Amino acid sequence: MTTSEIGTGDVTNKSRMYLGIYFLATILVQFGLNIWTVNSRCGGDNIGAAAMYTFGPWTLIFGVMLLVLMMYPSFKTAFADVVGYFAVSSSANTLLNQILINQPIQQAIDQGSLQDKKATENAADLIIRIMGNSSVLINQLTPTNFGEYWGLLKPLMKPNVFDNSKLKEELFGLVQYRDKIGEFMWYLYTGVLLTSVVQMKIVTNGCNSSPEAMKKKHQAYLEEEKKKIAADNVENSVDYVSNY
């Protein structure tokens, strides 16, 4: 069974759906927040300015990030090897102990034929270099190289494990889960960064009000001043009558 036969299409479609939901929900919340911020600072109707601050940076920067991850999937390991590993390490250790032999490596090498010994030595060397415990192996596996590593580990597998599709699917599921965590962390990190940058840009930039908006603000200011003067006059009149 190849990795393409383990349901990667369904996982990819779900990932795209979740990405679309995340992107749409985040950008709508950001747009609403930007409208409120711009209007509270500058007054008037500033939907256009809020839209420019929202959709421009998100389309450009988030789009570039997606393009980089598609071109260089290894970038996901920056988070997958830490956050993703933490999430799957316990399950991976249990599952790999079911897959790999428990007997000493040297004993496995001595029991095989000359050809088997060479394959076992190569696999054993790989295990020795990358593993202190079995779960560390999960950091070497990705959805793209899973088939290659599964074949490489065959000499160190327990009897009848190599053709066990259930164990293979379970391990591949952990590999995908770890990989998707690394990918999501890039989305989350980029979203937080964009939100902070956009908010700072709105706060530090001056207001670009149209003549109509400025006239309305000035009229509102005059009305407010008239109300204050009228209130002061009423208060002074009351004081005068009281003193009299």
Q: What share of the chain is helix, strand, coil (3-state, %, to 5)?
A: 85, 0, 15
Query: In the structure encoding, which two tokens stand for residue 185, read together?
Result: 């962390």
Cα torsion for 119, 123, 124, 126, to the nearest 10°?
A: 140
pLDDT digits over 156-202, tens only? Answer: 788 888 888 899 999 999 999 999 999 999 998 998 888 888 888 87
Give the pLDDT band (50/70/90) at residue 212: low
pLDDT score for 182 = 92
Task: Please state the pTM of the whole predicted model.
Answer: 0.67
H-type helices in 100-160, by residue range? 105-111, 114-130, 146-152
